[in-house]
Amino acid sequence: MMRTVEAIDGLFGILDEGDLPADTADFSNGLVAVMTAGALIATGVAFGPVRVQTLTSLEPPPAADSQDEWEEIIEVTVQAPTGRLRAHSLEDSRYPRLPALSTQGSGPYRVRVHARGRAGAPSQADGDPVEDYLLQVWPAGTDRDTIILRGSERIERALREPWPTEHAPGLRTTDEEDELCVRLLRGGGSNPLSEPGRGNG
């Protein structure tokens, strides 16, 4: 299913019940930052819409064809402690939320993230999305390794010089202590997307 998700500070989430333990995020591959629950996806655009397609299955899907147009593909294991994993904007969003990804309830899931358009994205997009993402999700079994199926200059740079969490793209505090960044860095049980009166992305 293809939907639109709002990127905030260069990120959107694959979150379990809206939980954002951002202080545990591992940004070492430059695309998918796995957390103790869920993961963050680094976008090219800092603020604006991106297209996200999600596909779930019970078994690993076939690998992407070498002739397709995906520029980056990374496969990781993501934990879903409550079994309510779904792709989210990190703020209130005008777009409908995506369907649940954790089709077998709580536990670990393999997530194969495909990305296209990150390198040429503007810092802010007000019109149609210029980036595309495909999230393929299935129960993980015992597999926990991160696999880079298709790299890029951005991914290679991140592997050479991984960002510490406190300096990762989209998670930097400013002199004014931007509200979103502070909430992300607080992480833990803050559940920013589950607060009363807030949307679910």
Q: What is the DSSP string of the chain?
A: -EEEEEEBTTEEEEEETT---GGG-B-TTSSEEE-SSSEEEE-SSSBEEEEEEEEE-SSPPPPPPTTS---EEEEEEEEETTS-EEEE-SS--SSPPPPPS-TT-SEEEEEEEEEESSTT--SB--SS---EEEEEEEE-TT----EEEE--HHHHHHHHSPPPGGGSTT----TT--HHHHHHHH-GGG-TTSSTT----
| Joined tokens for residue 191 | 């559940």
Over residues 59-80, mean pLDDT: 91
Over residues 169-179, mean pLDDT: 43
- The widest CA-to-CA distance across the chain, in whole angstroms, is 47
Over residues 79-87, mean pLDDT: 95
How much of the chain, in percent, has pLDDT values that exceed 70?
A: 77
Give tens-digit pLDDT for 100-136: 999 999 999 999 999 999 988 777 766 788 899 999 9
Q: How far apart are the C-alpha atoms of 179 and 104, rounded to whole Å?
A: 35
27 contacts 168 by C-beta, under 8 angstroms: yes
Confidence of residue 149 (pLDDT cuts 50, 70, 90): very high
Domains of the chain with bracketed CATH: 2-60+67-166+177-185 (2.60.34.30)
pTM of the entire predicted model: 0.80
Closest by CA to 159, choosing from 72, 50, 68, is 72
What pLDDT, on the 0 to 100 scale, is given for residue 78? 97
Name, of 44-48, 50-54, 142-146, 152-156, the range with top average pLDDT.
Answer: 50-54
Question: Could you give the strand order of the β-sheet that contains 107-116, starting from the edge strand earlier in sequence?
Answer: 2-7, 48-56, 132-139, 107-116, 72-80, 147-150
At residue 70, does pLDDT exceed 50? yes
173 contacts 181 by C-beta, under 8 angstroms: yes
Find all residues with CB under 8 Å of 195, minimum gap 6, and list them.
none
At residue 188, does pLDDT exceed 70? no
